[in-house]
Amino acid sequence: MRKLWILLKINFQAMLRSFSVGKKRSAGWIGALALMVFLALYLSGVYSFMLAAALSSIGNLQLLIPMMTILATIVSVIFTIFAASGLVFGSKDSNLLLPLPVSAFTVMLSKVLALYLENLVFCGLWMIPATVAYLFYGGGSAFLIFPIIISIIFLPLLSSLLALLGGWLIAFLSAHSRHRALMGNLISGILLAVVLIGSMQINHILQTLLLNANQVEKTLHTGLFLFGWLMDALQGNFLSLLWLVLFCFLPFLLISWALSSHYQKLLSKMQSHVLRNDYHLQKLESNSQFAALFKKECGRYFGTTIYLFNTGIGVLMMLGFSVYAIIAGQSFLAAIQQIGEEILMPILALGICMILSMTNTTCVSISLEGNTFWVLKGSPVPTRVIFRAKAALNLIICWVSTIISVPLLGIAFSLSALSTISLLLVGLAMGVFVAQFGLMVNLKFPKMNGENDTIIVKQSAAAFCGIFGGMLLTALLAGAFYLLSSHLGIEQFLFLASAFLLLLALIIHRWLLTRGTEIFKTL
């Protein structure tokens, strides 16, 4: 037990340290935790009170807690499945720990429990507004908080178990496929589609559930019996609560033990590579230094699933929305006429800049070099060429999506040529700024010893500052327009904002060529 707690402490501290750089060890993870607290409380609060009001009006308030718990489980599984794949089956320290006098079950359990702690925090925060809404609409006395607390403690075991099995499947399929990057991207794309479709259809789903509340209650006592037991426990049936605890705890323990019994073999298989036997001699082609480095950056970007989707989800959403706006143009125009055409351009500009500020590949591109950084650093290539190749990838991603999306939005919303050009220009300028800003942030907050790519891309200080720094600048520009809107039109402001972004990018570029180059050589 002592070894388990030591390993659990190490894994949990590693998760916290992944947000830290230098002496400011607590700033990164505190900021990320604050963001998670805000999102969980806000989203759960909105849907909990909306659903509670609807359920209480038809006399089925008892469905609120089970339904919100199901939603919490689904969301936590989706957002931790790749973390499970990286932490449990892709961590670099596993091969070092297993030869030590520590059982494989202890190593496995320590990693899965670290994942459980993350799900526990999220589910606990998620259920606070749901519980308040349940009590506010007369769901029972405060004594019923006890079964809710028990469910908060044990149901994250279920989501952690599902994430563990999903992570194992992703790691297994990726390791046994010649096109492991394609396989990982395909799975990520499916999960992303589920999230996007679910978020767009959430109101329709809730309406369907309300119209079929009795059938939902029957389903909770059959296929979704775990959540049915929770509903019964809220009505005073503590035997159901006991069954809930057992059916969450025992499978979690048994499957963790079963996987740990073959842990070393699983790691060996998943870290192996599929070799080709159809090699042919071909003529070698030579490229310029920039072309070779740019090709390497593209290979890493499209070959690292978590990197691709964490930084590319924004532009995918922007492209999808612009196409959807063309298809459903009339309904959008009707909605705009109701809210006012004068706010259309500010909303579009804000959305484009926010999305592009999230599309920051350069803020982690240096850290992702990892153990091979010495090869890049020791190569006879000027540092400015390395910076240029990394920035070029970010520019192409931002520029291509902007050049495609903005004209489509202009057609869909019948924008004038001046409005379309101003949106296009501010999008291109934001792309230039983001690429330069990301490099500066990564040089300031490098993390060259990340255990896996997931930690670097999702949990490093550079990733946090790179993405949210751009979003903060966008918010400041929005505030500036609010103050100046009585003196400047939106098109004129966007031209000025574009010039300001390009000026900032130029200043950062000069810094990269001087101080940034010196920092790069000392990494």
CB 490 within 8 A of CB 418: no
Are 256 and 405 found together in one domain? no
**pLDDT at 233 > cutoff 60:** yes
Give the distance, in angstroms, between the CA of residue 442 and the centroid of all CA atoms in the same chain. Answer: 19
Are 257 and 364 found together in one domain? no
Query: Distance between CA 414 and CA 269 in Å, rounded?
Result: 55
**pLDDT at 204 > cutoff 60:** yes
Coil, helix or strand at residue 24? strand
Are 222 and 306 found together in one domain? no
Q: Is residue 8 part of a domain?
A: no
> Which residues, at least 6 apart from 216, have a Cβ–Cβ distance to it below 8 Å?
63, 67, 209
> What pLDDT does residue 22 have?
46
Are 237 and 378 found together in one domain? no
Are 29 and 100 found together in one domain? yes
C-alpha dist (Å) from residue 167 to 6, 103, 153, 164: 24, 22, 22, 5
Band (pLDDT 50/70/90 cuts) for residue 387 is very high
Q: Is residue 284 part of a domain?
A: no
Query: Distance between CA 190 and CA 186 in Å, rounded?
Result: 6
Helices 145-175 and 104-136 pack at an angle, to 10 degrees, of 140
CA angle 112, 118, 120 (to 5 degrees): 100
CB 460 within 8 A of CB 445: yes
**Which stretch, 15-29, 276-290, 398-412, has highest mean pLDDT?**
398-412
Q: How many CB atoms lie within 10 A of CB 197?
A: 10
Average pLDDT of the residues in 275-303: 75
Domain boundary among 235, 270, 305: 270
CB 121 within 8 A of CB 39: no
Six-digit token string for 343: 């706010």
Are 265 and 294 found together in one domain? no
> What pLDDT does residue 20 have?
47
Q: Is residue 13 part of a domain?
A: no
Are 262 and 300 found together in one domain? no
CB 452 within 8 A of CB 340: no
What residues are paired with 24 via a beta bridge?
A: 21
Band (pLDDT 50/70/90 cuts) for residue 166 is confident
Band (pLDDT 50/70/90 cuts) for residue 355 is very high
Are 50 and 139 found together in one domain? yes
Q: How many CB atoms lie within 10 A of CB 98?
A: 16
> Which residues, at least 6 apart from 399, have a Cβ–Cβ distance to it below 8 Å?
428, 431
CA angle 162, 304, 455 (to 5 degrees): 65
Q: Is residue 187 part of a domain?
A: yes
**pLDDT at 506 > cutoff 70:** yes
> Which residues, at least 6 apart from 291, have a Cβ–Cβ distance to it below 8 Å?
none
> What pLDDT does residue 35 have?
66
CB 148 within 8 A of CB 107: no
Band (pLDDT 50/70/90 cuts) for residue 289 is confident
> What pLDDT does residue 195 have?
63
**Which stretch, 57-71, 124-138, 416-430, has highest mean pLDDT?**
416-430
**pLDDT tens for each residue of 253-264:** 888 888 777 776
**Which burial class, exposed, middle or buried, applies to 172 when counting CB atoms under 10 A from its CB (0-12, 13-18, 19+)?**
middle
Average pLDDT of the residues in 61-82: 84
Mean pLDDT score across all residues of the chain? 81
> What pLDDT does residue 312 have?
86
**pLDDT at 25 > cutoff 60:** no
Query: Distance between CA 258 and CA 273 in Å, rounded?
Result: 24
Band (pLDDT 50/70/90 cuts) for residue 320 is confident
Q: Is residue 277 part of a domain?
A: no
The residue type at 283: K
Band (pLDDT 50/70/90 cuts) for residue 438 is very high
Coil, helix or strand at residue 371? helix
Higher pLDDT, 369 or 1: 369
Q: Dmax over Cα atoms in the chain, in whole Å?
A: 78
CB 353 within 8 A of CB 474: yes
CA angle 192, 401, 395 (to 5 degrees): 110
**pLDDT at 483 > cutoff 80:** yes
> What pLDDT does residue 13 have?
58
Band (pLDDT 50/70/90 cuts) for residue 243 is very high
Six-digit token string for 468: 């949210």
pLDDT above 70: percentage of residues in the chain? 76
Average pLDDT of the residues in 340-349: 83
CB 405 within 8 A of CB 352: yes
138 Ramachandran zone, left/alpha/beta (phi>0; psi -120 to 50): left
Q: Is residue 10 part of a domain?
A: no
Give the distance, in angstroms, between the CA of residue 288 and the centroid of all CA atoms in the same chain. Answer: 35
pTM: 0.66
**pLDDT at 275 > cutoff 90:** no
**pLDDT tens for each residue of 83-114:** 676 667 766 566 666 666 667 777 777 788 88
Give the domain extent around 478: 289-522
Query: Distance between CA 442 and CA 365 in Å, rounded?
Result: 8
**Residue 375: how many CA atoms within 13 Å on its side-chain side?**
7
In total, how many domains does the chain have?
A: 2
Coil, helix or strand at residue 21? strand
Are 336 and 436 found together in one domain? yes
**Of the given ranges (100-104, 159-163, 493-497), which has the lowest mean pLDDT?**
100-104
Query: Distance between CA 424 and CA 410 in Å, rounded?
Result: 10
- H helix intervals, 141-179: 145-175
Q: Which position has the token pair 């490229």?
A: 287
Q: Is residue 458 part of a domain?
A: yes
C-alpha dist (Å) from residue 255 to 165, 262, 417: 9, 11, 61
> Which residues, at least 6 apart from 501, have a Cβ–Cβ distance to it below 8 Å?
426, 429, 430, 432, 433
> Which residues, at least 6 apart from 497, have a Cβ–Cβ distance to it below 8 Å?
426, 429, 477, 480, 481
Coil, helix or strand at residue 236? coil
Average pLDDT of the residues in 409-415: 88
Band (pLDDT 50/70/90 cuts) for residue 21 is very low
**pLDDT at 499 > cutoff 90:** yes
Are 352 and 219 found together in one domain? no
**pLDDT at 38 > cutoff 90:** no
Query: Distance between CA 523 and CA 517 in Å, rounded?
Result: 10
Are 202 and 83 found together in one domain? yes
Are 213 and 347 found together in one domain? no
Q: Which position has the token pair 């900021």?
A: 31
Q: Is residue 14 part of a domain?
A: no
pLDDT above 90: percentage of residues in the chain? 23
